[in-house]
Homo-oligomer: A and B are copies of this chain.
Amino acid sequence: MNALTTDIVLAAGVAVVREHGWNALSMRAVAARLDVTPMALYRHVSSAEALSEAVLTAIAGPIAEVTRSGDAIADLEAWARRAYAALVPYPGAATALLVRWFETAPALRAVEGLLQSMYDDGVDGFEAVAAVNVVFMFALMRAQGEQSVRSAGVVRRRLRTAAVAESLPRLTGLMEHYTTARFDLHFEYGLQALLNGIAARSVPA
C-alpha cells in the first residue's frame, strides 16, 4: 500500500511551495515530505527541472480560464483578480511564472483568452498585446506580495543613494502602475488605473 503516484509527487511539490516558497522546491524536499528516498521520485519525474515545470503548471492551473463577456475591461479585471488570488498563496511562484510563462500551458491559455477577449471587443494588434501584457505583469507582480513590498522599499532607498543620484520622477509618479507598498489594498487601485487607461483608449478623442 501507499504506492507512490505522479499525482502524489506533484501534490507534495505544490505543498512544499505553499509552505516554504518556490526556492525550497527540490527533489530532496519533496522526497522528505513523502518519507521516501530522493531516487524514488525519478520514477515519476525525469529531473528536478521537470518537477519544477510540473509543479508550476499545477499551481498556475486556475489562471488559465478567461471568462469572455464581450466587455474586455470586465474580463481583464476578473482575470487579474483571480490570478492574483491564485498565486498569492505560493511565495515566489508568480516570479517563476513571469520568467517561464511562455513555456507554461495555463499562462499561455490565459494570454490567449485575454487576447481573444480584446479581439471580441474590437482591440487587436499592438494595442491588444500591450494591454494584456501590462495587466498580466501587474497581476503577477502584485501576487509576489511581500517581495513586491520589499522591492518598493528598495526603490525609495535607491532614490536617496549616490549610485542612482539622478532621481526617478516619472517612475515614481507612475509607480502605482507597477507596485505599491500596501499591495492587497492598492491592488484594486492600481488595477483600476490600468483598466481606465485601457478603456480610455477605446473611446474616440
Contact = CB atoms under 8 A, between A and B. Distances in A.
A28 interface: no
Contacts of A116: 170
A45 B85 CA distance: 37
B130 A171 contact: no
A99 B198 CA distance: 25
B109 A168 contact: yes
A44 to B, nearest CB: 16
Q: SS class of chain A's interface: helix, strand, loop or mixed?
A: helix
A78 interface: no
Contacts of A109: 164, 166, 168
Nearest first, the 8 closest Cβ-Cβ pairs linking A and B are A126-B197, A115-B170, A130-B130, A112-B168, A129-B177, A102-B151, A112-B171, A130-B134
Contacts of A42: none
Copies of this protein in the assembly total 2
Interface residues of A, number: 50
21 contacts: A95-B99, A98-B99, A99-B99, A102-B151, A102-B178, A105-B163, A108-B155, A108-B168, A109-B168, A111-B171, A112-B171, A115-B170, A115-B171, A116-B170, A127-B197, A128-B174, A129-B194, A129-B197, A130-B130, A133-B137, A137-B137
Contacts of A127: 197, 201
Given A102-B154, A171-B108, A205-B204, A130 B178 contact: no
Interface in A120-155: 125-131, 133-134, 137, 141, 148, 151-152, 154-155
Contacts of A151: 102-103
Interface string A155-177: 10010000110101111001001
